[in-house]
Structures are given as C-alpha cells and as structure tokens.
Structure 1
Amino acid sequence: MTFHPQFVRTYLPLALLALVGYGQTCLADEDATREKGRQIYTSMCAECHGDKGEGVVGAYETPLIGDASLGELTHQITKTMPEGDAEACVGPDAEAVAAFMHYAFYSEAARIRNRPPQISLARLTGNQLRQSLADLYSHFHGSPGYTDDRGVKGVYFTGSRWKNENKKIERVDPTIDFDFGRESPGEGITKEDFFIHWNGSIIAEETGDYEIVVRSTVSFTMDFGKMGRTLIDNHVQSGDKTEFREVVRLTAGRAYPFKIDYIQRKRKTEQPPASISLSWVPPHGVEELIPQRNIIPWTVEPTYSLQTKLPPDDRSYGFERGIAVDRQWDDSTTAAAIEFGIVAADELWPHYSQRNKKIPEENRARLKAFLTEFIETAFRTKLSDETKQLYIDQQVAECPDDHEAIRRVVLMTLKSPRFLYPQADATDSLSQQVANRLSLTFYDSIPSDKWLLEKIQRDQLQNEQQIREAAWRMVNDFRTRGKTREMLHEWLNIGHFGEITKDEARFPGFEPELIADMRASLDQFLDDIVWSEKSDYRQLFTADWAYTTDRMAEFYGDQWKPEEAAKPEADKLPRGPGPQQLRKTAGGDAHRLGVLTHPYLMSGLAYTDASSPIHRGVFLIRYMLGRTLRPPNAAFSPLSPDLHPDLTTRERVSLQTSPESCQVCHSRINGLGFTLERFDAVGRFRDTERERQVNAQGTYTTRDGREVTFQNEQELAKFLAESDDAHRAFVSRAFQHFVKQPVAAYGPEKLDELTEKFKNSGYNIRALLVEIAVIAAMEPHNTKIAG
C-alpha cells in the first residue's frame, strides 16, 4: 500500500501526535491506578505485610515477592486479602492494589529496580578449589585434549613379562572383562604362561567417591592417576583372595590414567583358571563394569584429585556460592593445602627438576624457579619482587630441605586470598582477568593450559572476537562436559532424589540395578543432545528416541525395546553386575518425550506406591519454567489411597488441595502436574487408573498472563520446547551454574538479551555456554570502560 505525498505531509504528523497523546493518557491512567492501589495497600495491608511488602515480625514475615502475572495477583488479592475480610478488596480495588504491588516491590523487575544485583566477591567454592588444584597439578604435565576414542588398549604377550619379540596381540578392548579359563587369551600365546598390559584413562562424569573393584584369579598390579602410583598391588597371588577394592575421590570432567599388568605364571601344579574384570561403584550407582564410554584407549598425563573432604557450599539462591568463611571451611582448606603440599614435593618437584636441568642448581635456583612458576599459576599473575621475597626467598632460606620448603610455600600460597579469591585481580592485565573468568566459567578453575597462558602473555584477549574464539575452544573440553552434566542434573533437580524406592508388591523388579540403568540412560541421552552438531535444546522435549537396556525393556515393555539395527554383534551384555549395555531405541513412540517422560525422572517425582502430581507440578513450575512458589503454610502429608479407594490420584489431590488457602499455589501446581498423570509411580505409561480413563488435562498461566491448556503430556512437551518462560528459565539456570552470579548483576537486560540470542542460534546449548562465558569474561573490560 502507498500513500499520496500530500497525505503523508498533512496527516501523518497528526496521527503521531495522537499516538503520543494516547500514550501519555495511558501512563497517566496507570499512575492513577497505582496511586489508588498504594492508598488501599497502606490502609489495609501494610500493617501485616510492611510498607514495601518486606514482611512484619509476628504477622506475615514472608516478603510479598513473586512472578505471578497481574491477573493472577489480582485473583489472589480478591480471594485472600485482607485476611478475614476478603470481600473488602475486590473488583477495581483489587486490580489497583495488584498494580501498585506489582510495580512497587512484587515483580522481578521491581526487585531489580529497587535493589540492583551486584557481582559479589566470592571465594572458591569447594568444587572450584578441587578443580583448581587438579589444574595446578596438570600445569606441570599437560591437560588432555578432547577425543571421541573409547576403550582400553591391550598388549598381549606369550611369557610372563614384557618382551617385544614375544608380543602377539595389540588391540583396543571395549572393557576389561575376560574369563580365559585354562585356555590361551589369543593366537600364538601359551595358555600356561602369558602377560597382558592394559592401559587407558578413566573419565569421571561426576564428582564423588568411586570404589574401584578388580576381580582376578591370577596376579596383577594396578597404577592409577599416575604411572608408578600403585592403587592395588597383587603382584604375588596368594590364598583365595580374588576381589580387590579401593575407594578414590574423583572430580567431574577429569581423565585419570591407569594401567594393569596381568601375569599368568607357569606353575608346577595345575594352572588356576584365568579371569579378570575391572568395575567401579560410582556415586549414586551400583557396581558395574567400567563402561567403554568412560575409558580412553591411552594414558593421559598424570592427574591429581583432592581426597580431603570439603564442606558443602551455600545454595540458598539455587546455585553454589562461596560466601561462608567459617572454622570448618578454614580447616578444610588448610588440610587440602597440606595434602597438595606433599604431592607437590613428592611428584611435581622431581618431574620439574628432571625436565629443567638447564636451570643451574647453584643457590637453589632451580627450586626457586619451580616455586615461582607454581605461585604464578596459583595466583594467576606475575609475581612482584616483594612477593617473591616473602613467598620464596625467605622460605627457601629458612628451610635447608627442599621438600620442607615446598610444603611451606604451598601452604602459604593455597591459603592466600590471592588464590582463594579469584576476582581479586583488578590490578592484573585485561587479558589475565579475561582468562581468569573464562577458566572459572568453563572449568571452575585457574588458567593452566599452555595455549591460554600464551594468549595472556601475548595480550591476545583484548576484544570480544578474541574472547569468543577462546571460548569456543574451551567449550569442547572434558572439564566443560563435566560441568555441563552437573548443570543439567541441577536443571532436572535429580541430585535431590536420594534413593528411589518403590512398593515391592506393586512394582516387582524395580531394583537398584534397574535404577542405575535408567540414570545411565538419561545421562547418555543428555550427552547426545548437548554434544550433537545442532545441540538443540528443543530436542530435550521432542526427541522420540532414548537409550535403553534389556533390563529396562523387560520392565517397561515395548516402548523401551532397543532398535535391533543398533545392536552390533560386538555389543554383548557384560558378565559383571550393574547397568547393562545401553542401546538406542527406535524413534516414533508418541509417549517417549525426551527428558519429560523419562522413567528416571518420573519415578523420582513420585511416591513409593503412587504418582505425585504435586511433586511433578512443583518441578515443572520451579525448574522447567523458572517460576517462584511460596513455602506451604503447613506440613503436607498426602492422603492415603486406601482412605479413598474409589478416587483416582487426580481426584484425591484435588480434594486435599481444594481449600482456598491451598489454591493460591495449587491452582498453579496441580494444573501442570496433572498433565503427567499417564505415567505411574515408576514412570510406566498407563491409559487407565482404577479402571477409569486417566484425565491428563492441565493448564498454565504464563508470565505475561496468557493461559495455556494441555490435553496431555505431548502438548506439554511441545509447549516446553517453544515456551519463552521455559527458555528464560533454562538460560538463567545455565548462567547461574557456570558463572555463580545472578545474571541481572551484569545488567537488568542481560537475561532477555541472552534468551534472544539463544533463540536466534536455533536454541544451540553450546552456543549459549559460549555467550555466557563471553558476558562473564567481558566484565573487566566493561568495568575499565565504566571507570
């Protein structure tokens, strides 16, 4: 459509003036409504809730804050305020009070406006301390680059020792799980007398205690973490002991080198049958053969994992923060520094000295060079002459023994605020500060990789393009993958499930091994989505395929049967205990909807004998959609199904939560939780309950006040994949986990900007992590510019 020039010159300015006038009128009306609401609130509400909704001791101490839309807030005021006389504030009065509260102090925008979040100075969290020490150790050896290769390398010899001319087989085995009996392990190898050398690196996907289990009927030795660091020594097989267990604490995203030397010696008596298996008991799991997906077929550089137990960090804001400085934290960091000091003296110093023989030993110059590099790496900066004098020269002069000097310097360094407070770097170069924040964001650690240190030295982290290039390199790293797995677990809140148990009479076969299968299935699915080429967040809800095992298929039926085409001949079930081999299912099942209907999630969000729409609704509100819920007024105990044997779960929950005081929250909770009612207490799909058709209809009111209805879980999954609320919640969760600061501290508009970039990237999760890291890394630049 086109307009005559005269029309444009004459009427368009008048139209614009009319629009401006209309806008000014609307603003004036909004101001008048809020003023009316302020007066009503002051006279009827402030006495119990405070002038700014902050709460009043002895009355309503919980602040009046939330994220309900204006319509929802108006409805709550109409139904519940003031207490005992709800009819006193209804209609236009309730609308006015809601408008005032929403603008003045209730909404997220109001809270940011009234008290802008700031980037808070924080110490290293427990996990950041653990990762930083691991990278401080790896700095002197090197960190492994990411690889997709998996398995364990095996070298097979005839004869009971390594002898090159007797080498018969060299191959990559999927796992270590062999029963040779009294036969030869391979062609050309004598069955009475052979030697096998396995080496590889084990990837830990979760931080925690792992029990390493080796079962062997003949002699063997196992080194772990570093060649020469013996974990199990059974060089001389004695007695009937065939099972060996050791507990080690491993760190997520780290690869730990190991080797096993397995020796069958010729005997005068009858040869014992030869067998060996390598298993572990991971955190939250059962004993299983260490899966092929967790083994790299070569030994990476030596790795260190702190064994000192660290206290939990504050999580009151939904993510770990290093804010508590108390006796427990101080004692644990001291113990960690002492532990690392021993390792530095016994392992790092000999390694450094051997590789730096060109540095003279006169006046202990080589030792001082080692300590200088150690402190500069830990402090993330070059040392001043004064610091060198205090931390190195003075300590070396007072300690004639090199090992004692190292332990003393390590203790001083690791207890220094310059190490424990990574943001205390304002006097460092911009490139150094940027590298510090990139490493904290992706690795929870210090800059230690040589390529990154070279960029600092060359001052090549000066602009956004350079930062973004470094971020893309860092996102594809074992450490980032470990941290991403932890973030997804927090997003799904599965870390709080504890032990999942079910009524044995109602659900026979729901055993720990099945639960371990389900957790492994979920983790493999998450990895596939995030690290695929598209890394598409939406597939977390729309994917109609999954990973399964024979045990899951037997329990859950055809929906969880593996796709036969995905079962190669080499893919055999393990002989040992624990989770079975994961295989991909066929696509096309309408009820298998990514994480949303995964049996591990559904069974975790249920009671022992029944589903729980309330648990599932709270999960969806808080975690999937990022909305707030106030704590319940009183302790809640579900009604027993036996009290109302004719009611479905939906009817029973509706009955118990029917009072108006409950409906303030349960109108939101139940409306979402009911949509997953076609999945029972163990996450098995069902059409009927108590011989009646399951009603899976539900509702949700968005942040902008739009009411959405769902007929079933399929419509809910589609909504979560496309919802602005869900996208915003995922972005916020990721930012808080990776940066450990509120996103609003980087600007009130940052969450909206990040969410929009996430959308424009095709919802690429890896691209989101890069954008988050760039924002955190640019903060020193922005501070300099602002100053």
Structure 2
Amino acid sequence: MPLSRSLKILAILVVVGGLAFAGRQGQRYYKKNLAAPRAGEVVYREDCMRCHGPVGQGVAGKADEPLVGEKSVASLAKYIAREMPENDPGTLSAADATASAEYIYQAFYSAEARARNHPPRIELAHLTVRQYRESIADLLGSLRGAVTTTESGGLAGSYRGLPDGDTTNVSAKNEIKLVDRVDPTLDFDFGNKAPAPGGKPEQFKINWTGSLLVPDTGEYEFRLTTPNGARLYVNVPDNGTQKDAIIDLWVSSGKSRSAQAPVFLLGGRSYPLKVEFFKYKDKTAGLKLEWRPPGGAWAVIPRTNLAPKYSSFVHVVSVPLPPDDGSVGYERGSSVSREWTEAVAKGAMQVAALVGPNLYALAGTKADAPDRAEKFKAFSLRFAQLAYRRPLTAEQQADLAQIYAPGVAPEVAAKRAFIFTLSNPAFLYPGLGPQDDYAVASRLALTLWDSVPDATLLQAAAAGQLKTEAQVRKQAQRLLKDPRAKAKLRDFLHHWLHVEEGAEIAKDQQEYPGFDQAVVMDLRTSLDLFTEGVVWSEASDYRQLLLGDTILMNERLAKFYGQKVEAGAGFQPVKMDADQRGGVLTHPFVLATFSYTKSSSPIHRGVFVTRNILGRMLKPPPMAIAFMDDKFDPSFTMREKVTELTAKPACQSCHVTINPLGFSFERFDAVGRVRVTDNNKPVDATSEYTAADGQVIRLTGARDVAKHAAESAAGQAGFVRNLFQSLVKQPPAAYAPDLLGRLTDQFRADHFHIRNLAVEVAVVAALRPTGSATPPAR
C-alpha cells in the first residue's frame, strides 16, 4: 500500500476517533450540565442497577457488596457525584447525584430501610453458655437459702498457739487464742518469730476464713507457697472435708515450696474460702496466697477480692459447652448441635452428682424414712417449678411423676428427675410457654442477671404485679442493685472495649522494657476501676467514659508511666493532661491492645473507634493486606506507612473514615505513653474527618475524637444498641422499628445515665412491646 494512502487512512481514523471523543465529551457535558434532572429511581435504574442490582444487593463480578451503610444523604450524594458511574465517573449532574442518593438511602441503604425491607424478629433462643451456668447456680442456691457477701477487706484470721515460755510442747492442752483479726492479704514472712504477741515462735496455727469475691467468669488458678503446713479450700461444700482441699501442703518440709490448682468460677459472686496453716518446730514460718485470674498474671489476692464474712458454696457447672453464636456482634443461643445437646446432658448429670450428697437434706427426709419417695417427688416438682420459672402444668407434673415408677429406688429417681428437668426445653428455652407475668419475670431476670427469677420476682408474678411499666421498672431497679447485674454490665463493658483481646498483649522488650504481664494485669484492673467508677457513680454519665482525664494507677503503673502516687495506697486516680487524654479511648490498656508489638497501629485504633465508639458501619476489606514494616521506606513515620499502604481507591472507601481517627492517636506509642516524635520526626496527629452526617471535622488529636464521640448522635445510638443487644440478646428493631431512636432520645434526655438506660432496656425486653407500643415513660 502506498505511503500516501496509509497516511490518508490514518488521518481518517484520527478524525473519526476525535469526533467520537468529542461526541462522548459532548454527551458527558450535556448529561451533567444541560439535561433535565431525572427522578432518583430513574437515575439508579439507568446508571447504577447494572452493577448494584435492582435492590442494591450487588452483582457478582461487578459490585459484590450490597449497598448498605450509615452515610448521610449528603455524603452519599457527594460520593456519587465524584465516583459514579464506575465506568464514567463524574458525569452525573449535582441534581441527579442528589436524587439518586435520596432514592438509594430511602429504598435500601439506611438502617430504617433495611429494617423495613427485612424486618428482624424476636427469635426463640436457648440459654447462652453464661445464662446456663448462672441459672443452674441460682437454682441450686435458692434451694439451700445461699448466703453471699459483697463487703471486701480481707480474711478473718484466728491465731492460736502455745503461750510464750511454755515448755510442755503439748498444743492441745495448753493452746491459747493469740489474736483474732482481719488480714487484708495473705503474704506473710514471720521468720523465726511468733505471728502475734504472747505466742511461742516454735509452734502455732492460723485459720483464715471468709469469702472470695470473683469479678469475671473463667478459670482461676490458685497458688500457695509456704515452708510449713497448709491447705487451701475454695468453694467447698459446707460439709466438705480435708479431701476437698484444692491444695494440700500439710506435710511440712521446712523448705519453701509451692503448689497450684485451677478452679472454674462465675463472675459477680462470692465463694467460701479457707486456709489452714501450722508451724511445728520449723526454723521459719511464712505463707503466700496468690491467684491468676482469666487472662491475667500471678499476684497476691488483693483485699478488694477477699471478704471476712462467710459465703455459701456455689454449684458451678464446669462441663465445657460449645461457644455461642457471636456472628452478629453479641452472643445468642441460636445454634443447636449434637455437641451442644451432649454438653447440656453432661451438665445435668454433673448437677445430679453435685446434689447427691445433700439430697436427703434438700428433700427434708432421711435414708430410712418410709415416705422418702413422696418427699423426693415433692422436691422434684418444686425444683422443676423453679427451673421452668412458672407453676407446672398437669402434663409436666405427670412427666415427673412417671420417673418415680415402682421398682425404681427413690434416690435414683430423684437424680433422674434432676437430669430430666435440666434437659427439658422448658428450662433450656425460656421463651416457651404462655406470655404472662411469669414470662415477664423470666425475661427481666435474664436481661439483668442472665439467670432465673428470684423469690421476690416470682411472688410478684404470682400476684399479677408485673403488668405495667411502673411495676416492671420497680423490679428492674431492684435487680440492678444485685452483684449479678454489676457483673453483667461489667461483661458488656469488656465486650464494648474488646478487653478480652487485651489479655494477649505482648510488647517487644527491647522497645518497651518493663512492660510485662504484671503491668498488663494492672492496666486491666485500672480500666475496670475507671469504667465501673463511672457507671456506678450517682451521675452514671456515659460521656465521662469518653471525657474523663484521670487514670487509676498503683505504684507499678506509676513507675512505668512516670507518675507519682502514694506508696502502699493501691490504685489511685492520677490527673492527666486533659488536652490530650480522653477517657477509655486513651487509657493505656486500650491503646496497647490496638497496637503492634513494636509500634502504634492507626488502622486498628481507627477501626475500633469507628465501629465500637462512633457506631459506624465498616464493610470487610476487599482483600487482606498484611502490614509488613520492613517493606516501607525506613525513614517513614507510622502515619506515612499507613498513608502509603491504604492509598488505593479500593482501600479509601473505608480508610477515608478509619485513617483520620487512627492518626489522631499518634501522640501515643504502643504502650499508651505520650510521645512527640516518631522515627525522629514530629508526630502529626491532625486530620480532617467526615462524620456520618457529612460534616467535616478538624481533628488535632485524641481529645478531639473523644469530644466528637461524646457528642455524636451516631455514637450515642451505637452505645444504646450495643447495650441493648448485650443485655437482651436480640436486635432493638425486632421490638419496634423506631425503638433504638426512642431509647436514644430518652438516654439524652436522662443526661446519658447508663444505669437508667439498662433499666429501660430491661423494661422493654420484659414487656415485649409491639411496633405500635409507646416508649416507656419513667
């Protein structure tokens, strides 16, 4: 082909291409600036539906994620105008972008639209693991009239021995009382001296008795150290013997030795504790009693967890149970498996074995009583009525009576009745049965205690006094004063702040020498003391969880964080820089939890604040990208590394929210200490953050985030939602589409009073309002 002809063809192609490009540009200009505005549904159908589907459900290979979220209409419109349509972004007019945003928001994007399109319902659920264990402990405790205590301060010590100067060496005859006193902790080195004035140093004995106050549910390890003779008893029945000691070091060796043993305990309860100790002609004397709480470090049991008053034995089911379904952000008893059924059966058999030694006393009979079969049967009916949380039907009574068949030993039948009752759906599924006052009592106890109703609540149900909001609120306020309610709110706070994730905190010892498990345990205690101090104060103000400027420190924490506290005074509030600190958000435990072993982590901190504190939704990342520190420029700060890592448009859809929040905490290192430089460069903690309502906020540090969170409507609603779901194990929208909004409005009107909010949640859950119900009025 001649060169001239080729050039002509090329010229024609260029002209055609130019005309096509000009045409497309003209169309884009016309569409954006001259075309008449379209209805939002039309815009969506013509420009969005092919990728996002008819109802925003997504289209495989184009837009896999559904169109749901918590952005405002203004924020959606701004994003659509800038980024959509995906194949030709920026071509929609401002009017079309706004119209489509309004349509998307109202049709399927917003929480209200999702609730309308897929209305959640109150689901029938079995007892969660926590509810199962708590219910059995209270069921059996109610049969015995259990005694509990909450007054801490130490253990009651009874000191006895030979009088000083005695030469008989016969302890039984000449033994005297040396002193009775309350010892705050058990950490003694008596050396070669008597433990109290007037006693003989060579020979004495001490018995410590009282209660162990347990804050959290889990396995506790106990350790006893002594060169002398000692035994430790934890949660032993009243008629227990030396064989029930969990640690037995009674044979003295004269040399210091230790022994340890685990015990599974339920939080929010007191347990009987006893230590027996003696010295006989050993050169020295001493004793130390330590524990390791779940996820914690070894420490002498503090006085705050010891009480001089006696508590009754607590029946604790220690059979391992399959974990509950937590996929929706809170634990619920929705999944039934073979493992769960078998575990529940084993739990019932364990209860029958625990009750066995006390069976005659509980039934009010004796082994040789001719009427013991009738007594056992009556006892079984009484127990089932407590377990089923209501009077038994004729059919339920007949089912239990059949167990006491002719030829079956009454003792065997009684144990079978226990197993039958605790494996029955009427116990395992509290939602079954008539929706009457007894159902209200059951739901109220589950909401605030994770347990069965007590005698007072059952009496109110029997009298028909749980019909009105005022009646139920009065009972809820009573239940909230119980240690079990305190334990449940503590469990909620742990879930809200991801405390359990912090149990595995570990830092590089070259970067952070001295930050060990003992410091981690102290930080967790510090956080618990702070949050509980706010919740159980008179104001109980949610905002103080975010705005408080004190951190409780003991001597170990004060030394590590460069503060000063009074020696020997335990945890004390230390005033921090109010311009930098912001309540739980800047507590060192939380900051250390959401950090790497050697450095801070703006991403982890930003995700935590976005989801848990501000109540905003984050979609799962399109792909998991590992943070590899050695892949970045060695001169980079952490902020520069994260900026580079998340620069891609696919990342920015979420990180445009996450990063500004995370960068605001860059003045704190991986253990929560204030810093001014990172990698020898000044720390930059400033950012511009776009809130859920589309407002752009200038953040200059963590304190600004805390202030915004305290004032954020989305954050307040998120806190209410989290508390509701944690207490009730159901979503608020299942009770009424607008319930979350009404509870949040009432929370604001009540000056953000957390305990009052818990009461109102309990009232709603107990009375099961329908969609047309009015909000509870206090």
Q: Does 1:513 align with 2:518?
A: yes
2:22 counterpart residue number? none
Q: Return the offset for 1:507.
A: 1.6
- Aligned partner of 1:401 among 409, 417, 432: 409
Indicate the larger mover: 408-417 or 221-230.
221-230
Give secondary structure in 1 for the equivalent of 2:122. Answer: coil
Q: Return the offset for 1:90.
A: 5.4
- Aligned partner of 2:129 among 126, 131, 138: 126
Q: Return the offset for 1:309.
A: 0.8
Paired with 1:291 and 1:770, the residues of 2 have a C-alpha distance of 32
Paired with 2:153 and 2:194, the residues of 1 have a C-alpha distance of 26
Indicate the larger mover: 187-196 or 468-477.
187-196
Paired with 2:105 and 2:770, the residues of 1 have a C-alpha distance of 35
1:259 counterpart residue number? 274
Post-superposition Cα deviations, 1:527-564, rounded to whole Å, max 9, x if no partner, equal: 21111222221211222222112222222213xx32x3
2:444 counterpart residue number? 438
Give secondary structure in 1 for the equivalent of 2:144. Answer: coil
Q: Partner letter of residue 154 of structure 1?
A: G
Q: Does 1:224 align with 2:234?
A: yes
1:643 counterpart residue number? 632
2:23 counterpart residue number? none
Give secondary structure in 1 for the equivalent of 2:213. Answer: strand
Q: 1:256 to 1:399 in 2, by over 3 A?
A: farther
Q: 1:205 to 1:149 in 2, by over 3 A?
A: closer
Q: Return the offset for 1:770.
A: 0.9
2:546 counterpart residue number? 541
1:339 counterpart residue number? 350
Q: Does 1:623 align with 2:629?
A: no
Q: 1:714 to 1:215 in 2, by over 3 A?
A: same
Deviation beyond 6 Å, 4+ runs, structure 1: 160-165, 780-785
8 Å Cα contact 2:228-2:282 kept in structure 1: no
Q: Does 1:76 align with 2:63?
A: no
1:97 counterpart residue number? 100
Indicate the larger mover: 220-229 or 523-532.
220-229
Q: Partner letter of residue 451 of structure 1?
A: T
Paired with 1:235 and 1:634, the residues of 2 have a C-alpha distance of 56
Paired with 1:498 and 1:110, the residues of 2 have a C-alpha distance of 39
Post-superposition Cα deviations, 1:179-226, rounded to whole Å, max 9, x if no partner, equal: 212211112333223222211221222221111211222223333223
8 Å Cα contact 2:736-2:769 kept in structure 1: no
Q: Return the offset for 1:659.
A: 2.2
1:237 counterpart residue number? 251
2:768 counterpart residue number? 779
User: What runs of 5+ residues in structure 1 fail to find an aligned partner?
Assistant: 1-32, 572-580
Q: Does 1:480 align with 2:491?
A: no
1:42 counterpart residue number? 45
Q: Does 1:717 align with 2:725?
A: no
1:177 counterpart residue number? 187
Post-superposition Cα deviations, 1:463-521, rounded to whole Å, max 9, x if no partner, equal: 22221111111112211111111100111123234521222222222212211111111
2:562 counterpart residue number? 557
Give secondary structure in 2 for the equivalent of 1:633. Answer: coil
Q: 1:301 to 1:35 in 2, by over 3 A?
A: farther
Paired with 1:35 and 1:412, the residues of 2 have a C-alpha distance of 67
8 Å Cα contact 1:222-1:231 kept in structure 2: yes
2:306 counterpart residue number? 295
Q: Does 1:86 align with 2:75?
A: no
Paired with 2:321 and 2:377, the residues of 1 have a C-alpha distance of 31
8 Å Cα contact 2:129-2:324 kept in structure 1: yes
1:351 counterpart residue number? 361
2:153 counterpart residue number? 150
Paired with 2:771 and 2:421, the residues of 1 have a C-alpha distance of 30
Paired with 1:68 and 1:710, the residues of 2 have a C-alpha distance of 19
Indicate the larger mover: 453-462 or 609-618.
453-462
Paired with 1:46 and 1:479, the residues of 2 have a C-alpha distance of 52
8 Å Cα contact 2:721-2:740 kept in structure 1: yes
8 Å Cα contact 1:217-1:272 kept in structure 2: no
CA RMSD of aligned residues (A): 2.7
2:16 counterpart residue number? none
- Aligned partner of 2:433 among 425, 430, 436: 425
Counting only pairs closer than 5 Å after superposition, residues 594-673 of structure 1 correspond to structure 2 as 594-638=583-627, 640=629, 643-673=632-662
- Aligned partner of 1:492 among 489, 497, 501: 497
Post-superposition Cα deviations, 1:246-301, rounded to whole Å, max 9, x if no partner, equal: 11111121221111222234xxxx42422112111111111111121122221212
Paired with 2:674 and 2:577, the residues of 1 have a C-alpha distance of 15
Paired with 1:442 and 1:436, the residues of 2 have a C-alpha distance of 10
Indicate the larger mover: 48-57 or 432-441.
48-57
Paired with 1:728 and 1:248, the residues of 2 have a C-alpha distance of 39
Q: Return the offset for 1:420.
A: 0.7
Counting only pairs closer than 5 Å after superposition, residues 744-783 of structure 1 correspond to structure 2 as 744-779=733-768
8 Å Cα contact 1:315-1:321 kept in structure 2: yes
Paired with 1:582 and 1:642, the residues of 2 have a C-alpha distance of 42
- Aligned partner of 1:685 among 652, 669, 674: 674
Q: Return the offset for 1:701.
A: 3.0
1:376 counterpart residue number? 385
Q: 1:178 to 1:90 in 2, by over 3 A?
A: farther
Post-superposition Cα deviations, 1:139-165, rounded to whole Å, max 9, x if no partner, equal: 112355663443212122225989999
1:211 counterpart residue number? 221
- Aligned partner of 1:455 among 455, 460, 476: 460
- Aligned partner of 2:394 among 370, 376, 385: 385
Paired with 2:414 and 2:87, the residues of 1 have a C-alpha distance of 71
Paired with 1:274 and 1:72, the residues of 2 have a C-alpha distance of 72
1:413 counterpart residue number? 421
Q: Partner letter of residue 526 of structure 1?
A: T
Q: How many equivalent pairs are there?
A: 727
8 Å Cα contact 2:288-2:300 kept in structure 1: yes
User: Bigger radius of gyration, 1 or 2?
Assistant: 2
Give secondary structure in 2 for the equivalent of 1:717. Answer: helix
8 Å Cα contact 2:148-2:269 kept in structure 1: no
User: What runs of 5+ residues in structure 2 fail to find an aligned partner?
Assistant: 1-35, 163-169
Post-superposition Cα deviations, 1:631-690, rounded to whole Å, max 9, x if no partner, equal: 111112225267322322222212222222221111111111111110011211012223
Q: Partner letter of residue 260 of structure 2?
A: R
Counting only pairs closer than 5 Å after superposition, residues 572-583 of structure 1 correspond to structure 2 as 581-583=570-572
Q: TM-score, normalised by structure 2?
A: 0.88
Post-superposition Cα deviations, 1:586-612, rounded to whole Å, max 9, x if no partner, equal: 466543432111111111111122211
Indicate the larger mover: 750-759 or 235-244.
235-244
Give secondary structure in 1 for the equivalent of 2:689. Answer: strand
8 Å Cα contact 1:146-1:477 kept in structure 2: no
Paired with 2:695 and 2:773, the residues of 1 have a C-alpha distance of 42
Q: Return the offset for 1:235.
A: 6.7
1:275 counterpart residue number? 286
Paired with 1:34 and 1:192, the residues of 2 have a C-alpha distance of 99
- Aligned partner of 1:188 among 175, 188, 198: 198
Q: TM-score, normalised by structure 1?
A: 0.87
8 Å Cα contact 2:158-2:180 kept in structure 1: yes
Q: 1:615 to 1:235 in 2, by over 3 A?
A: closer
Paired with 1:228 and 1:163, the residues of 2 have a C-alpha distance of 27
Q: 1:534 to 1:404 in 2, by over 3 A?
A: same
Q: Partner letter of residue 688 of structure 2?
A: T
Q: Does 1:200 align with 2:210?
A: yes
8 Å Cα contact 1:696-1:712 kept in structure 2: yes
